[in-house]
Amino acid sequence: MASENVKTFTDSNFEEETKQGVVLVDFWAEWCGPCRRIAPIVEQLASEYAGRATIGKMNVDENPNVPTSRFHVRGIPTLVVLKNGQHVDTIVGLVPKEDIVNAIERHL
């Protein structure tokens, strides 16, 4: 039940899709239990921030480059915030929704 507001990032579209505005990327994988807990929060945020920030997910299995080479992801769930293409914030592990909201708001 992926919300239509949740963007799907890939190694090939990442650069283009993240170069403007505030972007939240949720690195996840099918086999990651805690990622399933973050998923509904990310979907809520995608609706709540529609038009103000881009919220999307990136599957680390299907995209070997961006998660590990650019962001050095060593565990998931990991969330990163970008502003105009610049990496400005990282959240590692399970956190309350408020923490993610704060990380987005800081850069809006």
Partner 1 sequence: MTTPHKADREVVIIGSGPAGLTAALYAARANLHPLLVEGLEAGGQLMMTTMVENWPGFRDGIMGPDLMGEMRAQAERFGTEILQGNVTSVDLKHRPFTIMLEGGRRITTTALIIATGASAKWLDIGADRKLSGRGVSTCATCDGYFFRGKPIAVVGGGDSAMEEAIYLTKFASKVTVVHRRDTLRASKIMQDKAFKNPKIEFIWDSEVIDVADLDKGEVTSIRLRNLNTGETSTLPVDGVFIAIGHTPNTSLFKGQIELDQTGYIVTNGGTRTNVPGVFAAGDVQDHIYRQAVTAAGSGCMAAIDAERYLESLPAPEIADAHPSATV
Work out the angle between the directed axes of helices 33-48 and 97-105 (0-180°, nearest 10): 50
Q: Does the footprint of partner 1 cover residue 95 (CB under 8 A)?
A: yes
**Helix (H/G/I), strand (E/B), else coil: 66:** helix
| Total of residues contacting partner 1 (CB under 8 A) | 26
Strand partners, 91: 79
Residues of 88-100 as b/e, b for ≥16 C-beta within 10 angstroms?
ebebeeeeeeeeb
Q: Peptide bond preceding 67: is omega within 30 degrees of 0, i.e. cis?
A: no
Stretch that binds partner 1, among 5-13, 37-45, 48-56, 81-89 (CB under 8 A): 37-45
Q: Which of residues 53-82 bind partner 1 (CB under 8 A)?
A: 60-61, 68, 72-76, 78
Does the annotation mark 71 as catalytic? no
Nearer to partner 1, 73 or 82 (CB): 73
Which residue from 36, 52, 70, 106 is in contact with partner 1, where contact means CB under 8 A?
Answer: 36
Nearer to partner 1, 60 or 104 (CB): 60
| Residues labelled as active-site residues | 32, 35
